[in-house]
Structure 1
Amino acid sequence: MSETLAHIVDDDEAIRDALAWLFETRGVACRSWSSGEAFLSEWQADWRGCIVLDIRMGGMSGLACFDALRQKDCQLPIIFLTGHGDVPMAVSAIKNGAFDFVEKPFNDNDLVDIVVNALDADARSQQIKATRENVIAQLAQLTAREREVMDQILAGKFNKVIADELSISMRTVEVHRARVFEKMGVRSAVELAQQLSSTGLMPGQAED
């Protein structure tokens, strides 16, 4: 897993240095980039953390860099640094998926708080992704019949009803039910529903 960093992208060396010092004093690991082009040339899909991006830069603008990152399916939270006249653009960027923006001159503590929130948001996103991938792997272990029984369980049906609808014995339903719970690592239908719902994998969405 890549190191978690706050990536500072700004063409003003003085601002880059000031932000790097500020973040490091608050225990936030960071790396600086002098342009959007430089950042994009080295960006890796497994990078973790957030991006602090100046909206106005020489060469590629922050908005153009933001668009390019989205085209690369970059999911890192992006915080824009803006001048007063750039606020409408920053608000528009938030509607398009940016995390937040901070207007210059900014309050140091406010900026660091937003960066820390962005880092936390990225960590949560990664945890959800890892959990979802684990659930998908668990689902892949189920047989076709176990998947059928699971869907009926999630629909709230009793064993007898499931047995009738699938033309199998209640004992067979009980065996499949137990195997589903074991393979999915849950103890009840409620836990199973919560597990699939929290990862967006309820019946109809589940992946093989």
Structure 2
Amino acid sequence: MGRIAELRDPDRIGSHAAHSGRGRMMAKPNLATGIIIYLIEDDPALREAGRDLFESQGWVVRDFFSAEAFLAAPRPSGDVCLILDVLLPGLDGLTLLEKLRAEGSVVPAIMLTGLGDAATAVAALKAGAADFIEKPAERTALIASIADAIKGAKEVRTQAQLRDKAKARFRAFTTRETEVLTMMLEGMPNKNIAAGLSISQRTVEGHRARLMHKCGVKSLPALMELYLLAHQTN
């Protein structure tokens, strides 16, 4: 399963030229080192061709002959990308991806298939695949797709870290500071906040200063931006 007919095209994975190392030299994508590619493919020749291609980019490669073998290993994290064949013995690539997403994994994955049917492509993208590529895979396009997937996943992780830090700042508020914050975000001036909470305007000013300090901001627009970030749902 998952076998590609051999082609005399050095730019496609599965061709004789690609397997024998006589393909064109690939320009390395502008990505940091430390990238790991998890290649899950049951065809030994294609695993070897994929390893040669990915290692030529300076990437570490870990290959598996089945979804079950991959699941038996520690889960990947960091700057990684999964390359999954749709047709695998036992658990197929699409089911594997769905299982990973059900576990909460957000690692980028690119699906490869020799079938090329629209229904499978739609199912893969719905399951969270970063891309769906028909075999034989064009080398330059595959490398570019992997680079984009890793870059996108890194941006998502960075945004999630910023959101977590923002949430932590607001969790540090006292009950009174939270009350003052709510009224501030509603656009209420200090005197109205003071009247609404039955406290002095000077006390309101003190609460405002402390909550702004806790958030590390100096203006109301910046505070609003941080608040919206902390309350993003995705």
TM-score by length of 1: 0.87
Distance 1:138 1:67, change over 3 A: same
- Equivalent residue for 1:131? 162
**1:96-148 alpha-carbon deviations (Å, 9 max, x no partner):** 32211111112111111111111111111211121122112212221111111
Amino acid corresponding to residue 57 of structure 1 in structure 2? L
Structure 1 residues without counterparts, runs of 5 or longer: none
Separation (CA, whole Å) in 1 of partners of 2:215 and 2:69: 44
1:176, CA displacement in angstroms?
A: 0.7
- Equivalent residue for 1:24? 55
Separation (CA, whole Å) in 1 of partners of 2:53 and 2:185: 50
Distance 1:109 1:71, change over 3 A: same
Separation (CA, whole Å) in 1 of partners of 2:105 and 2:200: 50
- Equivalent residue for 1:66? 97
May I ask how many residue pairs the two structures share in their alignment? Answer: 200
User: Contact (CA 8 Å) 2:38, 2:81: kept in 1 or not?
Assistant: yes
Distance 1:43 1:141, change over 3 A: same
- Equivalent residue for 2:229? 198
Separation (CA, whole Å) in 1 of partners of 2:77 and 2:197: 44
User: Contact (CA 8 Å) 1:40, 1:69: kept in 2 or not?
Assistant: no
Q: Secondary structure at the match of 1:53?
A: strand
Amino acid corresponding to residue 207 of structure 2 in structure 1? H
Distance 1:185 1:38, change over 3 A: same
Of the two, which has the highest radius of gyration?
2
- Equivalent residue for 2:23? none
Kindly report the root-mean-square deviation, in angstroms, between the aligned alpha carbons of the 2 structures.
1.9
User: Contact (CA 8 Å) 2:77, 2:107: kept in 1 or not?
Assistant: no
Separation (CA, whole Å) in 2 of partners of 1:45 and 1:139: 31
- Equivalent residue for 2:181? 150
User: Contact (CA 8 Å) 1:128, 1:199: kept in 2 or not?
Assistant: no
The answer as to 2:157 corresponding to 1:92 is no
The answer as to 2:210 corresponding to 1:179 is yes
User: Contact (CA 8 Å) 2:40, 2:70: kept in 1 or not?
Assistant: yes
Q: Secondary structure at the match of 2:112?
A: strand
**1:37-78 alpha-carbon deviations (Å, 9 max, x no partner):** 111111427454221110011221111211221222111121
Q: Which structure 1 residue ranges, 4+ long, deviate > 4 Å from structure 2?
A: 45-48
Distance 1:200 1:98, change over 3 A: farther
1:160, CA displacement in angstroms?
A: 1.6
1:90, CA displacement in angstroms?
A: 2.1
1:196, CA displacement in angstroms?
A: 2.4
Question: Which of the pair is proportionally richer in helix?
Answer: 1
Separation (CA, whole Å) in 2 of partners of 1:65 and 1:118: 18
- Equivalent residue for 2:7? none
**1:150-182 alpha-carbon deviations (Å, 9 max, x no partner):** 122222222122112222111111111111111
User: Contact (CA 8 Å) 2:108, 2:130: kept in 1 or not?
Assistant: yes
Residue identity over aligned pairs, in percent, reads 37
User: Contact (CA 8 Å) 2:124, 2:132: kept in 1 or not?
Assistant: no
Which of residues 33, 45, 54 in structure 2 aligns to 1:14? 45
TM-score by length of 2: 0.78
Which of residues 57, 75, 81 in structure 1 aligns to 2:88? 57
